[in-house]
Structure 1
Amino acid sequence: MNRLNYKHLYYFWRIATTGNLTAAAEQLHVSQSALSMQLKQLEHQLNVQLFTREARSLSLTREGAKILEYAEEIFSAGEALEQFIASGFDADRIHLNIGVLTNLSRNFIEKFVGPLLAQDKITFTLHTQSMEQLLENLANHELDLALTNLLPPQLPGKTKWQSQLVSRQQLAIIGPEDCEAQKQPFPTGFAKYHWILPKQGTEIRNIFDTLCSSEQFKPQILAEADDMAMLRLLTRDSGALSVLPPVVVQDEIANHHLKVIQPLPHAYEHFYAITLQHKRQNPGVRTLFTLSP
């Protein structure tokens, strides 16, 4: 076999991480036909099929998945070299690109990444994005890790994710300081109150809906939102009740604008740090996991 063409391998790597030829071509600023030709040349050189075509997406073959593992190591090492050069050849200086799900609690994010601020040799950039953008940018090695309260899908022949549970926060009924509902266990005494809740389909809402169904309780819903900051503001200013991890409203609780009325037993919101399964890990990620509470 002739010497491996690393440009073709790089193109294969980008196609594999996006799972879509059109998207990869756009990111690489080449035409789709040119990219397809480069892929065919690599398959011809290796004498193996790297992808199977399924509708508008591509799935790795068994051989393709194995070659992707090597490509991950090769190009992750290249990224580490680029970071070393960018640091002024200071091997101890590290920069982290951390993706954050758009509607994630800002108080949780600050608490999680806060310990990095005391590290002289570590800097970081936070990127607030949708789940789709987070996974795309992880796959493209533009992010070192992503913080989210959702688990990514694991599909055969697609990019493999490593999901680490980094925290879980007990959910509680949150309400104004003068609320007296805490004197009785939920749902007794709660029928007269209005609620502002996370949008349907979110983890918190699913948990609360299940609880309400089991207790045959129908809340009077004033509003819904899929953004934690907006839920916090609406709950603070409306006098209604909500279901949130107390960390989301810790400032309002400290200032006696809101209080925890009742913790919900066995009810938690989960927070995950997602990385690429085969990527050479930025040492700052390990430091972050060690330092964070």
Structure 2
Amino acid sequence: MTSELNFKHLRYFQVVAHEGHVTRAARRLNLSQSAVSTQIGLLEKRLGHALFHREKRSLRLTEAGRIALDHADALFGIGDDLVATLKRKGAKRLALRIGAIATLSRNFQMAFLRPVLGRVDVEIALRSASAAELYGGLADHHLDVVLTNHPPPFDATTLYVAHRLAEQPISLIGVPRLCAPRLSLPDRLSQVPLILPAAGTGLRMGFDALAARFEVRPQIAAEVDDIAMMRLLAREGVGLAVLPPIAVQDELAGRLLAIAAKLPALTETFYGVTVDRRFPNPLVRDLLRPRSYNFRPDRPAASSHPPNKLKRRK
């Protein structure tokens, strides 16, 4: 039937896509280069979409090509699927490619992924890199979504869509001995060493504005652009860290750290960034649907005067 897909053409496409070069693919398939090119052309005609961007001697997958490759890999892995099924190892997994800004809270990443964790039909590829690298991967269809705590940049050639996922209040967090009870916020900001976000970040600018409003000069112990390092410094008792509670939820639950004070009007917003696609990944669509991020609540510090509590977000 004319509606049927020629799986031989699809196999040739799969090899070319993985090799990234027609000549190497033809050598691997023991065919002529022209024969392979012809078969790829027939497949593109059958599917009604170009599968490659042809740039001089290089080949780069189009969005349709990336989708086709995912299906080809799944299809030609059917033999492995059969063996795995008989051995109770589950079927071929669906690909979910996620990029996360290198400094983003790992706890938030886990909260975002929680609906698909443990699913035997999902294979997660999580990449941590700079914003420029991740947005490039998103535009080239190598990533399905980018997790970040900053709105995406404006790009006239790529329309980024920022899905607002959650918002966390910012607090002063540290070891219990630094969370002196009944200390006013201005006094706390000026008298206790602080671990601050790096200068120039949105959170740091918000904190500086707050300090200026209180007319205090903070006692800066460290300036750090990595949440994981801020967490470690806070655990070491270097100072009170300016952090969202989700970044240290395990330490708060275990009473290693406590919330000394909330910082009014300071929040951190988390986004899932995508690009407009003709073939969106259904897994990402489900993850981006509105839902509650049930972060574990903090516990009071082990002292006679427990610090202020944050309400659990519903």
Tell me if TM exceeds 0.5. Answer: yes
- How far the C-alpha of 1:250 sits from its partner, in A, is 1.2
Letter of the aligned partner of 1:234 in structure 2?
A: L
- How far the C-alpha of 1:277 sits from its partner, in A, is 2.3
Measured in 2, the distance between the counterparts of 1:178 and 1:206 equals 27
Measured in 2, the distance between the counterparts of 1:190 and 1:9 equals 57
Q: Do the aligned partners of 2:196 and 2:223 also contact (CA within 8 Å) in 1?
A: yes
Q: Which residue of 1 aligns with 2:127?
A: 127
Q: Which residue of 1 aligns with 2:231?
A: 232
Q: Do the aligned partners of 1:197 and 1:205 also contact (CA within 8 Å) in 2?
A: yes
Task: Please state if 1:103 is matched with 2:103.
Answer: yes
- How far the C-alpha of 1:125 sits from its partner, in A, is 0.7
Task: Please state if 1:76 is matched with 2:59.
Answer: no
Q: Which residue of 2 aligns with 1:277?
A: 276
Q: Which residue of 2 aligns with 1:149?
A: 149
SS of residue in 2 equivalent to 1:268: strand
Q: Which residue of 1 aligns with 2:113?
A: 113
Q: Do the aligned partners of 2:98 and 2:147 also contact (CA within 8 Å) in 1?
A: yes
Query: 1:177-192 counterparts in 2 under 5 A?
Result: 177-192=176-191
Aligned residues: 233
In structure 2, runs of 5+ residues without a counterpart are: 1-43, 79-90, 294-314
Higher-Rg structure is 2
SS of residue in 2 equivalent to 1:86: helix
More helix by share: 1
Instruction: State the TM-score, normalized to the length of structure 2.
Output: 0.67
CA RMSD of superposed structures (Å): 2.9
Measured in 2, the distance between the counterparts of 1:130 and 1:163 equals 17
CA offsets, 1:239-284, max 9 Å, x none? 4111100111112212222101111222110111111124521111
Measured in 1, the distance between the counterparts of 2:105 and 2:51 equals 41
> Relative to 1, partners in 2 of residues 1:271 and 1:8: Cα closer, same or farther, differing over 3 Å?
closer
> Relative to 1, partners in 2 of residues 1:131 and 1:110: Cα closer, same or farther, differing over 3 Å?
same
CA offsets, 1:44-65, max 9 Å, x none? xxxxxxxxxxxxxxxxxxxxxx
Q: Which residue of 1 aligns with 2:72?
A: 85
Measured in 1, the distance between the counterparts of 2:233 and 2:137 equals 32
Q: Which residue of 2 aligns with 1:175?
A: 174
In structure 1, runs of 5+ residues without a counterpart are: 13-24, 31-73
Q: Which residue of 2 aligns with 1:253?
A: 252
- How far the C-alpha of 1:205 sits from its partner, in A, is 1.1
Measured in 2, the distance between the counterparts of 1:11 and 1:202 equals 40
Q: Which residue of 2 aligns with 1:10?
A: 53
Q: Which residue of 1 aligns with 2:206?
A: 207
- How far the C-alpha of 1:116 sits from its partner, in A, is 0.9
CA offsets, 1:67-91, max 9 Å, x none? xxxxxxx932332222122123789
